[in-house]
Amino acid sequence: MNKRLGWRKLVNNVMLTLTGVCTLVTISVLFVILGILIYQGGKSLSWNFFTQLPKPVGEIGGGMANAIVGTLQIVGIASLIGLPIGFLAGVYLAEFDDKKFGMIVRYVADALRFEQLGNREFPPGRADHRDFPRGHPPQCTLNLPSYVSLCESNCNDMTSAQGVHPSPGYGSIIETL
């Protein structure tokens, strides 16, 4: 048994060393690529790059103004939709977690979180992402589980830090807020 244990430790150390070397080689290649991108791409960055509209294909120059504005619009509208819903759902879960509707709210939030981690491809025969209006509803559902869990944990932490023991259904969290 002692000889077998020594062999297993040797193989373990060799494999750990091999894994570390492979990780180091992979990360170093990625840093070389990142360095090249920063070096060559840094020359193109200017104030005009962020403020001008894109030029037609084949012309030199142009910018990313419409992409930046579009991203800010999508994030802003998704936050306007998702933050109030997530806040209210988080407060509800912190207050009425043991109720049947509370379990349904938690299930929906967990299902949305699982959908983010799972396969994002649409099944055959189902509508694809082009049917959604400009991406705002999908973006809001991506952030919603995070908002719900963050608000719920903050409400629970806040009530426990102030010595308030939430009693379900009596608005202790609402009073604390």
**pLDDT score at 129:** 45
Q: Tell me how far apart the alpha carbons of residues 105 and 119 are, in angstroms, rounded to a whole number.
A: 22
- Number of neighbours of residue 106 by Cβ within 10 angstroms: 17
User: Residue 54 pairs with which residues in a beta bridge?
Assistant: 62
Output 52-56 pairs: Cβ under 8 A, ≥24 positions apart: none
SS3 62: strand
* Cα distances (Å, whole numbers) of residue 50 to 67, 141, 167: 9, 29, 52
pLDDT by residue, tens only, the chain of 177 residues: 688 899 999 999 999 999 999 999 999 999 999 999 999 888 878 888 888 888 888 888 788 888 898 888 888 888 888 888 888 888 888 777 777 888 888 887 777 776 555 544 444 444 444 444 444 456 666 777 777 877 777 777 776 666 655 555 555 555 555
Q: Tell me how far apart the alpha carbons of residues 42 and 173 are, in angstroms, rounded to a whole number.
A: 50
**pLDDT score at 175:** 56
**pLDDT score at 124:** 42
Helix ranges restricted to H, 96-125? 100-117
- Comparing CA positions, the residue from 2, 172, 155, 36 lying closest to residue 86 is 155
